[in-house]
Amino acid sequence: MEQMITAVMSLAAIGSGLGVVLGVAARRFAVEGDSRVEEIVAMLPAANCGQCGFPGCEGAAQAIVEGEASPTCCPPGGKVVALAIAGHLGITLGDDDMEEAPKIAVIEDAICIGCTKCYRLCPSDAIVGAMKQLHGVFAEACTGCNQCAEKCPTGAITMQELPATAGTWVMPKPPMAA
């Protein structure tokens, strides 16, 4: 009888002791969310455009980390961001995943009424313009997030592929041997 009590008591003591340690550790070293999410957010263009179908860049990062979305889901980021994220998370991207060429906003001069709606909306200040003045897009600063095109009352903004120039041209990959 005595032996049994000793065993139960000692096991209970060990258990409660470890329980306290674990409880304290859980409080002390708690991780708020997945740290990878923050790292991925830092890689995304921060346009919060919603083209990926998730609520903002943070939502997309969450989905990518959880494996619900592909790193290629971000059109403004394009191939560069997709490759960076894939490299960071150790995911292999298929060759054909990123076929679509990057697009940027182009304003049709004849239709623009100078309402400044797009100018106020652009997350990267890529549009210049003033009330009743023709607006213009800085091609260098545009990520092609499409938010301006959605809000343009006259449909003057379209997303277009950048024309290839001698400066941006890349020699195509030669066909593989049969």
Which residues in this chain contact other proteins in the complex, by CB under 8 A?
45-47, 77-81, 83-84, 87, 93, 95, 102, 123-126, 140-143, 164-166, 168-178
- Give the HSE-up count for residue 86: Cα atoms under 13 Å, Cβ half-sphere: 19
Token pair belonging to 51: 């083209």
Q: Checking phi first, is residue 161 left (phi over 0); if not, alpha (psi -120 to 50) or beta?
A: beta
Q: Which is nearer to other proteins, 93 or 115 (CB)?
A: 93
CB of 108 to other proteins, least distance (A): 22
CB of 84 to other proteins, least distance (A): 8
Q: Which is nearer to other proteins, 32 or 95 (CB)?
A: 95
CB of 173 to other proteins, least distance (A): 5
Contact 99, 83 (CB under 8 A): no
Q: Which is nearer to other proteins, 74 or 152 (CB)?
A: 74
CB of 65 to other proteins, least distance (A): 20
CA distances from 81 to 5, 16, 20, 133 (A): 63, 49, 44, 35
Q: Which is nearer to other proteins, 5 or 166 (CB)?
A: 166
Distance CA 168, CA 82 (A): 20
Token pair belonging to 109: 């001069």
